[in-house]
A and B are shown apart, each in its own frame.
Chain A
Amino acid sequence: AQSVTQLGSHVSVSEGALVLLRCNYSSSVPPYLFWYVQYPNQGLQLLLKYTSAATLVKGINGFEAEFKKSETSFHLTKPSAHMSDAAEYFCAVIRSNDYKLSFGAGTTVTVRA
């Protein structure tokens, strides 16, 4: 079964500091990979996706993620955190022969002034 591991359920960063959220997946075949964000009291919003094109994917709000097949990772980064980045972030995968998303447990980001 497809599984997704997000390392760290909570991450706290200072405003202006690097945001790094880790995601590893288990799959013998590279799946489709996604990062979603949930702001307080809102639904899930797509940040970015990897679909076997470029390994470095740029998303909205200055976020990007790099697909590394050798490490089965798809870590999310943002060079400089903003207060508005405080939210819960989810890594998710879809196997190439499937349609349903498998989600990681989520990482809550807090940004300190």
Chain B
Amino acid sequence: EAGVTQFPSHSVIEKGQTVTLRCDPISGHDNLYWYRRVMGKEIKFLLHFVKESKQDESGMPNNRFLAERTGGTYSTLKVQPAELEDSGVYFCASSHASGTQRTQYFGPGTRLLVL
């Protein structure tokens, strides 16, 4: 069974540019999450999808961040325009729908550097 995949693995952009990160969850996982780790800080929750619906986006920093999950499959996280403080590692995770199956499986992350 394939794990969670993320693309790209690294991205270096200039301030003001746009970047789109992609996450493909484990097949059959209805729940998809985005997390971020800014340098020197804790890993923080960004948002949670159940299928194609945003269940919780309380962690999204501001309206420069837009997440989508078309058709309940893969998800994208777009940052527009990027700022210096957006640099960090963006992780995607997925889990089963069942309430007792809370285990989240993570992808390798996308390392974003905004110059």
- Residue among A94, A101, A104, A106 with the most chain B CB within 10 A? A101
Complex alpha-carbon distance, A44 and B48, angstroms: 18
**Is A100 touching B106 in the complex (CB atoms < 8 A)?**
no
**Is A102 touching B102 in the complex (CB atoms < 8 A)?**
no
The tally of CB-CB contacts under 8 A between chains A and B is 53
Residues of A in contact with B, size category: 20 to 34
Does chain B have a CB within 8 A of A89? no
Tally of B interface residues using CB under 8 Å:
25
Enumerate chain A residues within 8 angstroms of B35, measured Cβ to Cβ.
101, 103
Q: Give the interface SS of chain A, mostly helix, strand, loop or mixed.
A: strand
**Is A105 touching B42 in the complex (CB atoms < 8 A)?**
yes
**Is B102 touching A45 in the complex (CB atoms < 8 A)?**
no
Contact status of A44 and B55, CB under 8 A, knowing A90-B43, A99-B48, A100-B33? no
Complex alpha-carbon distance, A32 and B95, angstroms: 14
Enumerate chain B residues within 8 angstroms of A32, measured Cβ to Cβ.
102
Q: Which 9 A-B pairs have the closest CB atoms?
A: A43-B108, A44-B106, A103-B43, A100-B45, A32-B102, A94-B102, A43-B106, A43-B109, A105-B42
